[in-house]
Chain A
Amino acid sequence: MKEFIKKNSFLLLMVASFIFWFICFDVFWRFRARLFDDGFSYYNIVKYYLENISRGQIQMWNPFMNWGMPDGLNLRFLGEYNPYLLLPLILFKAGFSYIFVYFSYAISYFFLGVYGFYLICYRLTKDKKLSFFAFLLLLFSSSGINLFFNYCEILIWVPAIWFFYFLVRFYQKNSARDFLGITFCAMLILITYMPFYFLTVFIVFLLGFVILYFKESCNFIRRILGFVNENKGIAILCLASVLIAAIPGFLWFWEAGKGEYVYNYRQAGEAGINNAAVVSKGMVTVGGLIGPLYFKSLFSGLSFVRNQLSYFFLSIFIYPIILLAAFNRVTKKAFLYLFVTLIMFLISLPGEIPLHGFLYDHVGYFKYIRNIYYLLHLAIPFLILFIVEQIKALLSVRVDKIARKLVLSLVIAVHLGFIYFLHSFGNIITTSYLTVILSAIFFLLYFSGMIKRKGLAVFVIFTLLIVMQPIEVFKSYSRNFSGDKITYVTIKKKPKFYYLRSEMNSEFKYRYDFYIDATGLDGGRMAYKYEGLKASRMLLMNVDAERLFNYVENKFVVYDKVLEIDENNINWSAIENNFAKLNNEAFVFNKDNDAVRTSIPINPQAQVISASSQQFEVLKFDLNYIEFKTNFAKDKFIVYNDNFHSQWKGFVDGKMIKMAQANIAFKGLWVPAGTHIVRFEYGRYWEYFIHWFVLVYFLLFFFVFVRIGIKHEKNI
């Protein structure tokens, strides 16, 4: 036991710190306060994904949101091929409560990222204590807040950290394991939301590295080429793996460019002209770092913090370090870290400085990045590396008797000055002052020679200095939200068909339940952020809401007559009238004119299907398909009020029948008289194949990588 503790002392310390950190936010995982915004979305996105994948269903189509739409973006938010999702899936299938499942997954993944950062620091500094300080600085920073506010950032950040870890290892000693590690992290980055954030940080880092370490860069490139030459199989495998990982993102991007899908909140320009993934410059400018974050807010009012804390927060201890480090020599490493941080910060000010505007206009992929301030979050580890370098330098200072007075005076001046600076803002929390005072005492004693550099005192005091103030801030953060609750959906669900939309919504009452039939007009999920199909958006904008909603209340409407209308000259009042009166005539555009039948029907009213009957019965329903049985006396045109999309196919008795875009936005096709089985299916077969292939590929790659890693460790 003693041996174990001694050998793993730092790991145990890290776990203990993590548990302590976890306790600071008990108000969230005890559900005394709700998760916010995208923290809450992710809770639901992961639940929805687990419910579907555990049934073997890939989320290609979402039949619940805005009358049905392609579900690619939620999957890009999640990075559905990440093998780490096996953890929540196993727990979910084992029957654990979803709250436990989600927080186990989310929090452990975050810990993995912070631990990865510790490993990077250890590789760079060879000092466990300094690496532990870096670990603490990152753990007790704004990074963790995103667990409760915007989990997307954690999903981007964790593979980025591990990418750099394997890169550092590979740089220090070429090995196949590290090359595979770099590849695997690159694959994870490619499948998560907007790999361009990481790409930006990496490019800037690379630029800085090449400029500062030109000779070393050339050497490294030579070594990489040498490695590739000697390990062609691995190199080809890795290249192929990266290309495979790029497929899902590419497919979503391609889909978004076809013009059928719109995301009007973030989209620049009209669908069909611009890719739905393109963000307007104005949208990026409205967001950005400044607003939630401003200079004074770094120091003042921390007892009142709420979600602005997630934008940028580091322990106040870094500021006396930065100030004292003013007298440290500039090193290439420090310069590099600061360079990356500064560039990311400057890009995160889209409205305030022209750098982002320039990049938006001249660097293609910047048109797809909306939440530009994520870049600063990815740069926080670099800033911490800079701080750690300065701590190392400060603790290495040997002060002789002659310079001692000067050094001690500087320490006092810096700390007093900083206290005065804090005081001038007002609303400073007690631990901010305490940290600065304790820091002053420490450095005075240290530079006087009364504290030994390698002694336990340094370690204990630094740990205290780093965590003291953040603990008070995190407690304030939790307290400020305590009592602000929301109902979480925790029970397992699966898609169930309802003939009437209101029947579904009366059963699934919660606004954020992914199974609720939600539209942009009735508030659904974030009405102002309309995401869906262009045609249904047109309906929402041009048809009276009450009449439209009364019409789409019915999932199936059966017609005897189909008329043609001009897509470029729609008579909206006629459409509205038709919906209101449920006239027995559906509408199709010119492209579907082969569906037109103009014989006058006997019944002037269309037939609404409100329940199963001899004539009509839904047999099967899931995300990507619906199957129903018909038995009409005559040919009927069935309109399914789920959005039309070019990838939907219709089959009657197994034979493909052309599906029409009916009543502006919905699916329609003719079914002959008599008993028939009709099936609507979404997607192309090769897309399903790709999804499963990529999923299995990621798992295989991960297991191969882990196996090689274990083998490598045993050989050592």
Chain B
Amino acid sequence: MKKIFNLLKIIFSRNWFLYALIALILLVAVDKKKVDIKILNHLRDSARYVNKYALDQVPYNKAEFYDASEYYNKLMKTMPDLKLAAGVLGYCYYQLGQYSTAAIFYEKAINENPQFFGFYHNLGLSYLKLGDKKKAMIYFKKSSEISMNESVNYLVFLSTKYFKGGNNGKLWLAAAIENLTSGVEQNLKNIILIYDEEKKYQDILYLCEGQLNSSNVKDREFFYFYAGKAAYYLQGYKQAIQFLNAAISLNGNNKEAYDYAVKLLEAAGQNDLVRIYQDKAMQIKEAVEIKKEDKLIYYMPYYEVAGTF
């Protein structure tokens, strides 16, 4: 008995017992829900920052994105029925350079909201950043299959739900649709660039021709150039020179376009034109590298649960 008592005395006279007591006090006394709400209230401003950043209203601030990711993570845990946070989290982690985590959240967002173009596109971009072109391509193609109307309807639904009337909702919707439209084109451009690396010129030509027939194209020069390049490699020289000339007429600084055009003209024996194009190409100081565009599609207005905070 004495031995047991001494043992107990040794055990309970150690600091661990104090720690356990403190932990018990905190467990019993602290209202966890209020703690969660307080934290969410504090981090709310960072969630607002993300919306402003997406609308190009504020400069990039990594710390704000980190806090915003904390906000949405906590929101998802506090309100698990909330389906819209996954996409924002993907956006935040992408901005933080944590692409694999971004991919996880975009996949979750797609599971919950399969009708939105932006999630597929952003997931594709995440895989591109991770160097997985195969997977990136899968999602770029999937996003190109989503109808614009479905995506726009989704944005309209969001703007009505979260802005509850007023001018902010309209402004947000206009910006979101603009973002979506340029995102669709961006998506196609990324597909073309990957095809270019894979030398799939038939597919490139098909996509470019399709896009050039549309009236709603912002960057025609890009599609003309790649159509011309694809046609060159497919030995459609007449078609190629037409496309390349169109590209050059839109952007006289495209050195690569001149290079291809020169090759075609040399093959066709048009030496006068060759000299002219060569002179123009020499005036271009640097070839501009066309990079895959990595601007994310952002959809989410700042999410606030009314009455909770």
Contact = CB atoms under 8 A, between A and B. Distances in A.
Contact of B35 (A294, A327, A338): A294
Interface stretch (A20-28, A162-170, A349-357, A488-496): A349-357
Interface string B11-36: 00111111100100100011100110
Interface residues of B, number: 23
A491 B274 CA distance: 68
Contact of A351 (B15, B29, B34): B34
A633 interface: no
Contact of B29 (A296, A304, A305, A346): A346
A427 B14 contact: no
Given A304-B66, A306-B63, A330-B13, A351 B38 contact: yes
B78 interface: no
B14 A328 contact: yes
A541 interface: no
B39 interface: yes
A290 B18 contact: no
Given A342-B22, A346-B29, A301 B16 contact: no
Given A291-B38, A480-B63, A330 B18 contact: yes
A390 interface: yes
B15 A330 contact: yes
A532 to B, nearest CB: 28
Given A290-B39, A291-B39, A304-B66, 18 more contacts: A288-B38, A291-B38, A291-B41, A294-B35, A294-B39, A306-B63, A308-B42, A322-B19, A326-B14, A326-B15, A326-B16, A327-B14, A330-B15, A346-B29, A349-B30, A353-B30, A354-B29, A480-B62
Interface in A333-361: 334-335, 338, 342, 346, 349, 351-355
Given A301-B66, A352-B31, A290 B15 contact: no
B30 A291 contact: no
B221 interface: no
B13, B15, B34, most chain A CB atoms within 10 A: B15
8 contacts: A290-B35, A301-B67, A306-B63, A349-B30, A351-B38, A352-B30, A352-B35, A390-B15
A330 B20 CA distance: 13
A60 interface: no
A329 interface: yes
A283 to B, nearest CB: 14
Contacts of B31: 351-353
Interface string A297-318: 0000100111010000000000
B70 A327 contact: no
B245 to A, nearest CB: 46
Contacts of A304: 62-63, 66-67
B299 to A, nearest CB: 24
Contacts of A325: 15
Contacts of B16: 326-327
Contacts of A292: 42
A10 B16 CA distance: 34
Contacts of A335: 18
Contacts of B39: 290-291, 294
A328 B35 contact: no
Nearest to A346: B29
B66 A334 contact: no
Contact of B15 (A291, A334, A354, A480): A334
Interface in A264-295: 288, 290-292, 294
B18 to A, nearest CB: 6
B15 A328 contact: yes
A305 B63 contact: yes
Contacts of A329: 13-15
Given A305-B63, A346-B29, A353-B30, A330 B35 contact: no
A664 B212 CA distance: 71
A353 B15 contact: no
A291 B42 contact: yes
A699 B62 CA distance: 49
Contacts of A334: 15
Interface string B27-58: 00111001100110110000000000000000
A327 B13 CA distance: 9
A334 B14 CA distance: 11
A338 B62 CA distance: 36
Interface string B46-87: 000000000000000011001100100000000000000000
Contacts of A296: 70
B247 to A, nearest CB: 40
A352 B39 CA distance: 11
A294 B35 CA distance: 8
A354 B31 CA distance: 9
Nearest to B59: A483
Nearest to B20: A326
Nearest to A326: B16
Nearest to A327: B14
B162 to A, nearest CB: 23
A308 B42 CA distance: 10
A328 B19 CA distance: 12
A169 to B, nearest CB: 29
A427 B67 CA distance: 12
Contacts of B25: 342, 346
A484 to B, nearest CB: 9
B44 to A, nearest CB: 10
A326 B19 contact: yes
Contacts of B18: 330, 335, 338
B48 to A, nearest CB: 15
A253 B38 CA distance: 31
Contacts of B42: 291-292, 308
A352 B14 contact: no
Contacts of A427: 66
Contacts of A328: 14-15
Nearest to A289: B38
B101 to A, nearest CB: 8
Nearest to A296: B70
Contacts of B29: 346, 353-355
A355 B25 CA distance: 12
Nearest to A328: B15
Given A301-B70, A304-B63, A427-B66, A352 B17 contact: no
A334 to B, nearest CB: 7
- Nearest 7 A-B pairs (CB), nearest first? A291-B42, A326-B16, A304-B66, A304-B63, A353-B29, A290-B38, A291-B38
